[in-house]
Amino acid sequence: MVSMAALVLSCFALAGGSATAGTAEQAAIRDGCVKSLNWTAAACQCFADKAGELNDGQQAFLAATLNNQKGAVAEFAMALPQSDIMAATMFPTKAGPACQ
Protein backbone atom coordinates (compact mmCIF):
# COMPACT_ATOMS: atom_id res chain seq x y z
CA MET A 1 0.00 0.00 0.00
CA VAL A 2 1.38 3.39 -0.97
CA SER A 3 1.48 5.88 1.89
CA MET A 4 -0.23 9.23 1.50
CA ALA A 5 3.04 11.13 2.02
CA ALA A 6 4.83 9.05 -0.62
CA LEU A 7 1.97 9.56 -3.06
CA VAL A 8 1.90 13.31 -2.51
CA LEU A 9 5.67 13.61 -2.83
CA SER A 10 5.64 11.52 -6.00
CA CYS A 11 2.96 13.71 -7.54
CA PHE A 12 4.94 16.83 -6.66
CA ALA A 13 8.10 15.37 -8.18
CA LEU A 14 6.31 14.35 -11.37
CA ALA A 15 4.70 17.76 -11.67
CA GLY A 16 8.07 19.44 -11.36
CA GLY A 17 7.10 21.52 -8.35
CA SER A 18 5.54 24.94 -8.40
CA ALA A 19 6.55 28.50 -7.61
CA THR A 20 3.50 29.10 -5.44
CA ALA A 21 1.33 27.04 -3.15
CA GLY A 22 -1.24 25.14 -5.18
CA THR A 23 -4.94 25.69 -4.61
CA ALA A 24 -5.34 22.52 -2.53
CA GLU A 25 -2.23 23.25 -0.47
CA GLN A 26 -3.29 26.85 0.11
CA ALA A 27 -6.73 25.76 1.27
CA ALA A 28 -5.31 23.13 3.62
CA ILE A 29 -2.75 25.56 5.05
CA ARG A 30 -5.37 28.29 5.45
CA ASP A 31 -7.88 25.95 7.13
CA GLY A 32 -5.23 24.47 9.39
CA CYS A 33 -4.06 27.94 10.32
CA VAL A 34 -7.55 28.95 11.43
CA LYS A 35 -7.93 25.75 13.49
CA SER A 36 -4.46 25.45 14.96
CA LEU A 37 -3.17 28.99 15.22
CA ASN A 38 -6.50 30.71 15.95
CA TRP A 39 -5.67 33.58 13.61
CA THR A 40 -8.27 35.56 11.67
CA ALA A 41 -9.34 34.31 8.26
CA ALA A 42 -7.52 37.24 6.61
CA ALA A 43 -4.29 36.51 8.50
CA CYS A 44 -4.53 32.83 7.57
CA GLN A 45 -5.12 33.65 3.89
CA CYS A 46 -2.01 35.85 3.96
CA PHE A 47 -0.12 33.00 5.63
CA ALA A 48 -1.30 30.50 3.00
CA ASP A 49 -0.29 32.89 0.21
CA LYS A 50 3.18 33.30 1.74
CA ALA A 51 3.51 29.51 1.89
CA GLY A 52 4.23 29.75 -1.83
CA GLU A 53 7.79 30.49 -0.71
CA LEU A 54 8.05 26.87 0.46
CA ASN A 55 8.69 23.94 -1.85
CA ASP A 56 5.93 21.39 -2.44
CA GLY A 57 7.11 18.94 0.23
CA GLN A 58 7.42 21.72 2.80
CA GLN A 59 3.91 22.95 1.96
CA ALA A 60 2.48 19.45 2.33
CA PHE A 61 4.28 18.92 5.65
CA LEU A 62 3.06 22.30 6.93
CA ALA A 63 -0.54 21.55 5.89
CA ALA A 64 -0.43 18.13 7.59
CA THR A 65 1.06 19.65 10.74
CA LEU A 66 -1.50 22.46 10.96
CA ASN A 67 -4.36 20.01 10.35
CA ASN A 68 -3.10 17.60 13.03
CA GLN A 69 -2.66 14.74 10.54
CA LYS A 70 -0.20 12.84 12.71
CA GLY A 71 0.19 9.87 10.38
CA ALA A 72 1.01 12.07 7.39
CA VAL A 73 3.36 14.21 9.49
CA ALA A 74 5.26 11.09 10.55
CA GLU A 75 5.47 9.87 6.94
CA PHE A 76 6.69 13.24 5.68
CA ALA A 77 9.25 13.34 8.50
CA MET A 78 10.69 10.08 7.18
CA ALA A 79 10.54 11.10 3.50
CA LEU A 80 11.68 14.72 3.50
CA PRO A 81 15.18 16.07 4.10
CA GLN A 82 15.67 17.48 7.60
CA SER A 83 16.22 20.94 6.08
CA ASP A 84 12.73 20.85 4.53
CA ILE A 85 11.14 19.81 7.81
CA MET A 86 12.96 22.60 9.64
CA ALA A 87 11.94 25.21 7.04
CA ALA A 88 8.27 24.18 7.30
CA THR A 89 8.39 24.04 11.09
CA MET A 90 9.91 27.52 11.36
CA PHE A 91 7.65 29.02 8.69
CA PRO A 92 4.88 30.21 11.08
CA THR A 93 7.46 32.07 13.17
CA LYS A 94 9.04 33.69 10.13
CA ALA A 95 5.95 34.48 8.03
CA GLY A 96 3.39 34.96 10.79
CA PRO A 97 4.28 38.46 11.97
CA ALA A 98 3.84 39.90 8.46
CA CYS A 99 0.31 38.49 8.31
CA GLN A 100 -1.01 39.41 11.74
> Which pLDDT value is given to residue 10?
43
pTM (two decimals): 0.79
SS3 7: helix
| Closest by Cα among 6, 1, 23 to 72 | 6
Classify each residue of 23-61 as buried b or exposed e, where b means 16 or more C-beta atoms within 10 Å of its C-beta: eebbebbbbbbbeebebeeebbbbbbbbbbebbbbbbbb
> Which pLDDT value is given to residue 69?
97
CB atoms within 10 A of CB 6: 14
Segments of the chain with pLDDT less than 70: 1-21
